[in-house]
Chain A
């Protein structure tokens, strides 16, 4: 009885189906454990956590240079940039906006450097629902390859203060 002291000799090996179930559970846990490294090496999606620490202001300056060098237009006062295919690209979450709008080529691998100019943000790319954490003080490098053409929204899914629900951004992918 669970509420009374167990009998004097309570230590005993499991038997019957209980034992079988423990074996099954252990085997299933091994499947779960192996699946992650397996996918890490053979699958196409994983999170490596590649990141670099930043000095205050460093990332903001990098973003400004990036926009200046590659700007091709504006939408509703948000700059649109078209970086050389396959280059390092930059995105900052700040003041409840993802800046700049990125114009990319389909099928080309980019190294996306993201950081925050204020609070923590959640990089969430729709509609495929791809999510990464963005943290101030760290340059988080997400290496990805756009696989479809079209316009893809970025939203913020980490609470970041009063304007969190208005925080959006955009990636435009062309052939």
Chain B
């Protein structure tokens, strides 16, 4: 029994799922401004990539610092959080057969986030806040920058409150039977971590804002600021991981009919994220003063790396479920489920590339760089952006792009045009971002710093030179331009579809897959079957996970080996 008034809902013509029209409005609003942020971030990205490519050296330093602030904020904060808000609306309504909790709250969420985003972008573009997204004190931005960030965060908090309220009324009205679906569970994990994150944001940004206003005489203590800021900064990455994994499960189901082998295991893994992530701010303080070695080691391992274990579990269960679905459809051999997968469906390719790039790129580098002693040869070098562009860009962003290829036809009820470009887009973005990240990582291994527009150190009193890194910086530049082109293609296609695309009201969306593929997938979604039937064993995934583990070990131990060459230091 749903709780929606008939005039406030519609039934999706493709999936048969109920859609609350109020929630639909907020999904649209948030998604649109997410894409606007992505556009700003991608334009900035081209300028950054062309500056770090030393032979091009496009921007002068002062502009570089402004543009890097613009890029970090629009990408990591605005694009990602607007999209996550859209996901929360979707998960607490359609998937629970329930209505939006409170429209006033939702307007508050959207309005505050929009005002915050506009204030921050104004401040940065006017040259009043070139402090980069971390805004480490005692660097100081003008006050509207901090206020904008605070408003944006409060908006996001209202979004999570609305989400919890949505879960509550769905339960109260008994709109669904049994436990909540796995995707909603993932969104719930993300929302819980979000509350924790936003509270830290308030603790650190409010005093900083008061200082920028002149109400407080001195800025917060710089070490304290770093500690609390990273409780915000790192936990918000775990929100992104949760949201991304939830999107993986969602797209796996929609594009291949996959079913998790064991729901308990998947949920347990989300639970580990919630329990252990609050310790992770230590990752960023590994070579800081005034935090002890014992504290660093315990916290950076998130208490014995149990959150890493969670990611390794998802890294198996997600592809395994796709493989089992493939086998159920009769795809044989070790990797038939991969060779015959719907690679021309951008929902599928974006999801699967995201999984591979995040796992092999982001996961392995993240754990390695976050190792207490190895961090000595990585901290603040280009290896760090090399890591997070394969998590939050190649992973989360690519997954969200894949999601859009379904959200636009299903929620906006508009078809994408220029489908050939859409089918190629995930490959362009995924390839470019991976190439850029590899270039960054290699340059960083030579000591090339992050947030730095000029490795010739022009004008420095003492000459220094990092010329050896030139080929790797060229890789960064070329990969970056390809990736940003991929992002811009996505933005153009999506904006075109939303405003000018062919309407599909009252009809099922045009499938991205061949008629045969989509029939098989639809069959798996609508019939009852068990992923644990004999004969469906995910043997291919087993092979992949061992390749993964071997790559992990090789990368990890070769970093220890590199550390041996560094001067003795403590």
Could you tell me if B61 and A165 are in contact, using CB atoms closer than 8 angstroms? Answer: yes
Cα A168 to Cα B258 with chains together (Å): 55
Interface-side segment among A62-70, A85-93, A130-138: A130-138
Give chain A's interface residues, CB within 8 Å of chain B.
Answer: 1-8, 10-18, 21-22, 24-26, 28-30, 32-33, 35-37, 39-40, 43-51, 53, 75-78, 97-98, 101, 109, 118-120, 122, 124-148, 153, 155-162, 164-170
| Bound form: Cα–Cα A45–B563 in Å | 7
Does B250 lie within 8 Å of A46, measured CB to CB?
no
Q: Confirm or deny: B420 has a beta carbon within 8 angstroms of a beta carbon on chain A.
A: no
**A147's closest neighbor in chain B, by CB?**
B567
* A122 proximity list for chain B (CB < 8 A): 379-380, 449
B84 within 8 A of A: no
Query: Which B residues are in CB contact (< 8 Å) with A32?
Result: 301, 305, 308, 367, 371, 556
Inter-chain contact B545/A5, CB cutoff 8 Å: no
Subset of 10 A-B contacts with CB under 8 Å:
A5-B181, A12-B262, A21-B542, A44-B564, A49-B291, A51-B290, A124-B381, A131-B379, A143-B570, A144-B568
Q: Known A-B contacts: A29-B304, A49-B291, A159-B136. Give 10 more (CB < 8 A).
A: A3-B95, A6-B181, A17-B542, A35-B560, A43-B563, A47-B286, A129-B566, A146-B567, A165-B453, A170-B462
**In the complex, which residue of chain B has the Cβ closest to the Cβ of A37?**
B297
B309 touches A77 (CB 8 A): no
With A119-B136, A131-B380, A165-B453 as known contacts, state yes or no: A126 contacts B464, CB within 8 Å. Answer: yes
Knowing A3-B250, A36-B373, A143-B570 are in contact, say whether A10-B264 is a contact too (CB < 8 A).
Answer: yes
Chain A residues within an 8 Å CB radius of B452: 157, 164-165
- Give the contact-size bracket for chain B: 35 or more
Set B178, B312, B457, B525: member contacting A168, Cβ < 8 A: B457
Q: Which of B182, B226, B463 contacts A6 (CB 8 A)?
A: B182
Task: Enumerate chain B residues within 8 angstroms of A157, measured Cβ to Cβ.
Answer: 379-381, 449-452
* Interface locus among B116-124, B143-151, B313-321: B313-321
Q: Are A140 and B289 in contact (CB under 8 A)?
A: yes
Given known pairs A30-B304, A46-B570, A137-B222, the reply for A2 and B373 (CB within 8 Å) is: no
- B375 is an interface residue with CB less than 8 A from chain A: yes
Q: Are B460 and A124 in contact (CB under 8 A)?
A: no
Q: Is the CB of B565 within 8 A of A14?
A: no
Please tell me if the beta carbons of A129 and B447 are within 8 angstroms of each other in the complex: yes
The residues of A that contact B95 with a CB separation of less than 8 Å are 3
Residues of B within 8 A of A76 (CB): 461-462
Contacts of A132 in B (CB 8 A): 287, 376, 379
**Bound-complex Cα distance A132 to B290 (A):** 12
Known: A12-B262, A126-B466. A21 touches B316 (CB 8 A): yes
Kindly list the 6 A-B residue pairs having the minimum CB-CB distance in the complex, ordered from nearest. Answer: A157-B449, A51-B289, A140-B289, A29-B305, A2-B249, A157-B380
A157 and B447 alpha carbons, distance in the complex (Å): 9
- Which residues from chain A contact B288 at a C-beta distance below 8 Å? 47, 49, 133, 135, 140
Asked whether B309 lies within 8 Å of A18 as measured between CB atoms, the reply is: no
Cβ–Cβ < 8 Å partners of B65 in chain A = 159, 162, 164
B253 at the interface (CB under 8 A from A): yes
Contact B570 A33 (CB under 8 A): no
Complex-state Cα separation, A17 to B254, whole angstroms: 25
Instruction: Tell me the bound Cα distance from A134 to B564 in angstroms.
Output: 23
